[in-house]
Amino acid sequence: MQSHRPNLSTDIAAELREWIFDGRLPAGGRINEVRLAASLGVSRTPLREALAGLTREGALLAVPRKGLSVRELTAAEARDIYPIRSYLDPEALRLSGLPPADGIARLVSLHEELASATDVRRAIELDDEWHRVLWADCPNPVLVELIEQFMLRTHRYELAAMRERRVLRKSSGSKAAIVDALRNADLPQACQLLRQSLERGVIPVLEWLEQRNADAGSPAGDPLGSEA
């Protein structure tokens, strides 16, 4: 990463996103541009572009007079983020229509692979791909882009929760029911089941946050909120 090519800031953002996901840039941690630029071997111009993108994405928080920090994981944000997916994904599926036979087969294959997954990151990747197959034919690219953005925001919660609890949340039953509805050409039922599944997705995250805060002896909330 020595020159500022057009996609360099995108590459930097992808790398920093991984650092946030795996904890190398911990929640609440301040962003030091000089150190990051040195670690990545890049100039500060593309780094700042990447940081701006991550801020828009919601991974970073801009605090007046304090600079950037990695956004904390809070129950309040989780309650805000997760319900949005329950509206977006079913609409994308509705617009896509019933998947073709090979799409159904792909859903079944991904479901089986997910059921046997033992790695957190792999489980989340498979879950994402399963959802992408559902709305593969969505004619609204803006809707798809929004879903992808909110996927990234929920990833931080799911990765942290599943890693600390050492439990993979696979929602196997709900996925099987959705596939059955699609096989039966019942698109409205599939959309409803998908909505219900996504609405339930926040429950284990909130349970983890409650337990984490109880262990730390502090109430759930955004520790940076008073500084904003």
- Kindly state whether residue 85 falls inside one of the protein's structural domains: yes
DSSP output for 5-50 = -TTHHHHHHHHHHHHHHHTSS-TTPBP-HHHHHHHHT--HHHHHHH
Percentage of residues of the chain with pLDDT beyond 70: 89
Q: What is the pTM of this model?
A: 0.80
163 occurs within a structural domain: yes
Give the model's confidence band at 65: pLDDT under 50 very low, under 70 low, under 90 confident, else very high: confident
Is the pLDDT score of 4 beyond 60?
Answer: no
More confident call, 26 vs 224: 26
Whether 85 and 195 map to the same domain: the answer is yes
User: H/E element holding 67?
Assistant: strand 67-70
Question: Which phi and psi angles does 69 have, rounded to 5°?
Answer: -145, 160
Q: Which residues contact 23 (CB under 8 A, 6 or more apart)?
A: none
Q: Are residues 132 and 21 part of one domain?
A: no
DSSP 77-127: HHHHHHHHHHHHHHHHHHHH-S--HHHHHHHHHHHHHHHT---HHHHHHHH
Mean pLDDT of 171-180: 87
The predicted structure's pLDDT at residue 48: 94
Q: What CATH number should be reported for the domain holding residue 142?
A: 1.20.120.530
Q: Identify the weakest region by mean pLDDT among 3-7, 20-24, 211-215.
A: 3-7
Domain stop point among 38, 70, 102: 70
Q: Is pLDDT above 70 for 111? A: yes
Please tell me the total count of domains within the chain.
Answer: 2
Q: Which of 39, 70, 101 is the last residue of a domain?
A: 70
What pLDDT score does 228 carry? 29
Identify whether residues 174 and 152 lie together within a single domain.
yes
- The range of the structural domain enclosing residue 34 comes to 8-70
Same domain for 190 and 123? yes
Which residues make Cβ contacts (< 8 Å) with residue 165, sequence separation at least 6?
204, 208
Distances in whole angstroms, Cα of residue 112 to Cα of each of 105, 115, 183: 11, 5, 17
pLDDT at 5: 61
Q: 133 and 187: one domain?
A: yes
Asked whether residue 12 is domain-assigned, the answer is yes
Q: Exposed (0-12), middle (13-18) or buried (19+): which is 146, by Cβ within 10 Å?
A: middle
Amino acid type, 78: A
